[in-house]
């Protein structure tokens, strides 16, 4: 991810429940726009295309044309970049805290036995 504007586009794209659902579907397999319309019958084709455009501008969807069809592929790299920037460091901190708690709890029975003796 090259700059803050890229991040803003990704967060904006993922802020919408329907776009997240589209990403979930595309994570399983590439789909044509027609197939996406079938998965989301509650919205019209124009709305599906509008959401796809937002996902594409955020770098989350890569369209590949095969003849007259447009296959939409999920590109998870922008999500991975977010993970590396925010989630990974926080998860590492949380994991080290849990490890320290585990070690302390494992030492507690040994300390209790020493005090009883």
Q: How confident is the model at residue 112 (pLDDT cuts 50, 70, 90)?
A: low
- CATH fold, domain 4-75, is Arc Repressor Mutant, subunit A (1.10.10)
Tokens of 76: 């998870």
pLDDT, tens digit, 9 for 90 and up, residues 52-108: 999 999 999 999 999 999 999 999 999 888 878 777 767 667 777 777 888 888 887
7: left (phi over 0), alpha (psi -120 to 50) or beta: alpha
Give the pLDDT of residue 38. 97
Q: What residues contact residue 1 under an 8 Å CB cut-off, 6+ apart?
A: 7, 10, 78, 81, 82, 85
C-alpha closest to that of 30 among 79, 75, 67: 75
Q: Please check the confidence at residue 1 and state whether its pLDDT lies above 50.
A: no
The model's pTM is 0.73
The ranges assigned to domains in the chain are: 4-75, 78-117
- CA dist 19 and 57 (Å) reads 13
């Amino acid at each position: 991810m090259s700059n803050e504007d890229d991040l803003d586009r990704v967060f904006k794209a993922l802020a919408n429940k329907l776009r997240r659902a589209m990403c979930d579907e595309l994570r399983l397999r590439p789909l044509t726009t027609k197939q996406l319309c079938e998965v989301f019958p509650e919205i019209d084709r124009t709305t599906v295309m509008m959401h796809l455009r937002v996902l594409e501008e955020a770098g989350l969807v890569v369209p590949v044309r095969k003849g007259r069809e447009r296959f939409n592929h999920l590109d998870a790299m922008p999500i991975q970049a977010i993970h590396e920037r925010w989630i990974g460091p926080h998860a590492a901190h949380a994991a080290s805290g849990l490890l320290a708690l585990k070690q302390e709890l494992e030492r507690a029975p040994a300390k209790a036995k020493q005090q009883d003796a």
